[in-house]
Amino acid sequence: MQIKRIDLSDDGRVYMIAYIGDKSPEMPYMDKRPAVVVCPGGAYYMTSDREAEPIALNYLARGFNAFVVRYSVYPHATFPNSLVDVSRAMKYIRDNAEEFGIYPDKIAVCGFSAGGHLAASIGTLWNDPEVQELAGCSGEENKPNALVLIYPVISSTRNVQPESIRHITIGIEDETKKVEALAKVSLENQVGKHTPPAFIAHTYSDNVVPVENPLLFASAMAAADVPFELHIFQNGGHGLALASHITFNNEYSIDEDFAKWIDLSAKWLYDTFGKNIPDGPYPRVTYENRCKGGIV
């Protein structure tokens, strides 16, 4: 595995960590992989370590190259700064797809909580003229091919918006512009044919980001005839991350049912992108040729 840091801002405040799987003659169809860009949560106030490297490594183990974006947070998160950060990351990844060993048309953005809002934002606002200009994009360089939204914040209206989303309006002094920004980041109203397919997982009992958030987004996707897969688990609190011992930090952070989301999302991504291997018949590896690193 190769690990590489890429600075996305001059001061090093915004950066991305790439986790790239090694190539092997024994696995010739993994020379290129799909990619997952991870946006950790943290209320736009910080980016959680529990939703960063552990997520990237789990996707890497499932055949994806992974990238963790440490985007702008309070007090630098004023909209659209964080969205521009992820747009720049997407453009950089696509521009260097060959170096990273990825398919440029198989890039998913995965986000958690506020990071889920950011992932849904790039899925719905990637073509916003201001975002495109600030990110140096002129087409679909920053457009995800799929979204993975894990207990995402979606709405800033209809009484389902957590206080955390207000961190992205800090610095907007004009009240009219602040109202306009809040309306723009109410993402159930931004879904359209330009939005990529999505995998969504949430819990009914989430007491931080109400379950109405993913339901609103899924309903908007259904209305726009955009494919999605939605999993609502009855039990489980907010911020479960992998919901396993790996990301354990309190008695509520392990949930064997919610922990299934990582495998479910990987399967969904392969169903959406297609697997790397060709249709059969498959090449046969013999002992002699395996020792030589060859395939017959």
**pLDDT, tens digit, 9 for 90 and up, residues 77-89:** 999 999 999 999 9
Residues in the chain: 296
Q: Using one digit for the tens of pLDDT, what is the confidence trace for 113-147?
A: 999 999 999 999 999 999 999 999 999 999 999 99
Phi/psi of residue 73, nearest 5 degrees: -130, 175
Cα distance between residue 4 and residue 18, in whole Å: 5
**Model confidence at 164, in pLDDT bands (50, 70, 90)?**
confident
Task: With 0.75 as the threshold, say if the pTM is over it.
Answer: yes
Q: Residue 43 pLDDT > 60, yes or no?
A: yes
- What CATH number corresponds to the domain at position 81? 3.40.50.1820
Cα distance between residue 258 and residue 115, in whole Å: 18
Report whether 35 contacts 100 (CB < 8 A).
yes
Domains in the chain: how many in total?
1
Residue range(s) defining the domain that contains residue 244: 2-292
Cα distance between residue 159 and residue 185, in whole Å: 14
